[in-house]
Amino acid sequence: MNGLLDTDQDQFAYGDAASGAFETVYATVTGRVYVIPGDTSNYNTYIMPTNYDTTQTWVPGTTDEPTVGLMIYYNTFNMADIQAYNGKVITVDILIYTFRSNNKAFAFYYVGGEDGITASLTDAEAIEVDSSALSIPFNILEDTTLDLATTGANGTTIAWTSDNEQLLIQQQVQSLCLQMDKRRYINCNSISWNCNSSC
């Protein structure tokens, strides 16, 4: 990160075509994931230095002092995989593709999915990360079968339960079969899950 700033790579964002352009950088980076609390914008997730204090108030970069971190570009398909590690130190391969003059930060793409993220986690942290990575549709409007994960990316075991009588949990086949009244929809917020460490 400092190498990019030391060589004024951020300055390409303020020039014109005649002054050149930023050249995409393929890099393996290690840093602490930081999702700005309460920020629902497209540009709210960063990989900061490993010693970054995630409890401090977020202070965005400026033209003179850009953010010393990397911002994930919102069109990254695997953004949720990175966000699941909020507050944790990870190592990933990324493409740093530009400096965003409006955000005062270098932006990157990540396409490695959950398997491309390396992190040293305690059992409790693995449960936290794998739980936050789970998702299901909010509303299901017709009979359907959902394939549910039974193992998290960090080796946790996932067991699905529901207090909704319309849902039939089939642990043997690892799928959720919805038997429902076609005149209503099911709000799947009633589904909960428990992760337990397999260690």
The pLDDT score that the predictor gives to residue 5 is 63
> pLDDT band at residue 2, thresholds of 50, 70 and 90?
low
pTM for the complete prediction? 0.68
Residue spans of beta strands (DSSP E) within the chain: 25-35, 45-48, 70-72, 89-100, 105-109, 139-140, 145-147, 156-162, 167-170, 175-178, 186-187, 191-197
The pLDDT score that the predictor gives to residue 187 is 46
Distance in angstroms (rounded) separating the CA atoms of residues 63 and 70: 15
Q: What is the DSSP letter of 58?
A: P
Top mean pLDDT of 25-29, 44-48, 159-163 is at 44-48
Reference 47, options 106, 2, 104, 102; nearest CA is 106
The pLDDT score that the predictor gives to residue 17 is 58
Tokens of 37: 């609390």
Reference 32, options 54, 55, 59; nearest CA is 54
Residues whose CB falls within 8 Å of the CB of residue 10, separated by 6 or more in sequence, listed in order: 4, 66, 99, 106
> pLDDT band at residue 126, thresholds of 50, 70 and 90?
confident
Per domain, the residue ranges of the chain are 2-116, 123-197
165 half-sphere exposure, CB direction, 13 A CA radius: 1
The pLDDT score that the predictor gives to residue 30 is 93
Average confidence (pLDDT) over 146-163: 78
Distance in angstroms (rounded) separating the CA atoms of residues 143 and 82: 32
